[in-house]
Amino acid sequence: MFIRNKKPWDLSDSEVTDYKVYKNRRQFLNTAISVGLASALPSIGLAKPVDELKEYEGLSKSPFSTDEEKSTFEAITTYNNFYEFGTAKSAPSLYATEFPDESETWKIEIDGECDNPGVYDYAELVKPFTLEERIYRMRCVEGWSMVIPWIGFPLGELLKKAQPNSRAKYVEFTTLYDPEQMPGQRRDVLAWPYVEGLRIDEAMNPLTIISVGLYGKELLGQNGAPLRLVVPWKYGFKSIKSIVRIRFVEKMPQTAWMKANASEYGFYSNVNPNVDHPRWSQRKERRIGEFLKRETLMFNGYGEHVADLYADMDLKRYF
């Protein structure tokens, strides 16, 4: 008689996977994977359908533009540091979809040490200036970079209209504070509102611009709509977004990042491969979309225009 002892690893018939289920295993796996991925990965959301954005025409080109390959519109509009909407790179594009609220006029206050202060509507403020395209490199303190075709006008032209007086040594910029529109401000991640600053000669440098758009279109919320600063030879966080106030001051402003961590973020924050940040080496950078890293350039490659500003300064000390 054949006696077969059931081994612990022998399956009983009831435990064997049903043939139908087995046949469908690939479909099951695919569904499982796509469901898992959909929940695990951030979805990509754009503020408005891109073709609804206002387009700028007849923009003049600028000798300051680089001819390097531009970063994609997708990269520029989905990979953002804008803590007012959350600290994840994807947060601004997800939560700034309705920003700024179109039912309210955006106002900008220009005050402080100047003879012609004022409060302006956004449209009124921008109107006198000829917009041009400036294709700039943008280097983030975290060690990545992009090439962005900004649209804007030199900040200096705006500042001159305000007629700064002799006590105006610095310019301080402030971002909107509105936790209703900016969910990231509901937590004290930084000392809101976000404040940045430039020395007056840095602010007057022709490279420094106020940007109102990119890639031929108006700015999206995640990029700092409706108007922002762009200072291409400094780390990205200096280029403050969604500005509501510009103030001329005599003393060096305390910026949001200086308040958060003064030993890591200095007032100047010029791109400098020779001065390391305690967390990231600044010698190299990853250009978004590229696999290999590049060498980081002094002043982000804008030295010929700005090195003179710091001629007698020890940049290790004034980082």
Partner 1 sequence: MLLTSMQTWTSSVISKSRADGVLKLVHFKVLLFIVCLYPFFSLAWGLLTDQLGVNPVETLTRSSGLWGLRFLLITLCVTPLRWLTGINQLIRFRRMLGLYAFFYATVHMLLYLGLDQFFDWSEIWRDIIKRPFITVGFINFIALLPLVFTSTNKMMKRLGGQRWKKLHRLTYFVAVAACLHFLMLVKADIREPVIYIFLLTGLLAVRLIYQYRQKKLA
CB of 194 to partner 1, least distance (A): 11
Query: How is 24-71 classified by DSSP, letter by letter?
Result: THHHHHHHHHHHHHHHHSPPP--SS-GGGS-B--SPBP-TT---SPPP
Binding residue positions for Mo-molybdopterin: 80, 83-84, 140, 175, 223, 228, 239-241
CB of 15 to partner 1, least distance (A): 9
Strand extents, DSSP E, 37-188: 107-112, 118-121, 132-139, 144-154, 170-175
Q: Does 83 bind partner 1 (CB under 8 A)?
A: yes
Q: What spatial distance separates the first Cα and last Cα of the chain, rounded to whole Å?
A: 89
Q: Of 80 and 205, which CB lies nearer to partner 1 in the complex structure?
A: 80
**Sequence letter at residue 224:** G
Q: Does 275 bind partner 1 (CB under 8 A)?
A: no
Window contacting partner 1 (CB under 8 A); options: 95-103, 150-158, 169-177, 272-280: 272-280
CA–CA gap between residue 56 and residue 153 (Å, rounded): 13
Given a contact cutoff of 8 angstroms between Cβ atoms, the answer to whether 93 and 80 are in contact is: yes
Given a contact cutoff of 8 angstroms between Cβ atoms, the answer to whether 111 and 163 are in contact is: no
Given a contact cutoff of 8 angstroms between Cβ atoms, the answer to whether 288 and 145 are in contact is: yes
Q: Does 144 bind partner 1 (CB under 8 A)?
A: yes
Q: Of 189 and 252, which CB lies nearer to partner 1 in the complex structure?
A: 189
CB of 278 to partner 1, least distance (A): 6
Instruction: Name the site residues for partner 1 (rule: CB under 8 A).
Output: 8-9, 33, 36-37, 40-42, 72, 74-75, 78-79, 83, 87, 89-90, 142, 144, 187, 189-190, 260-261, 276, 278-281, 283, 286, 288-289, 292-293
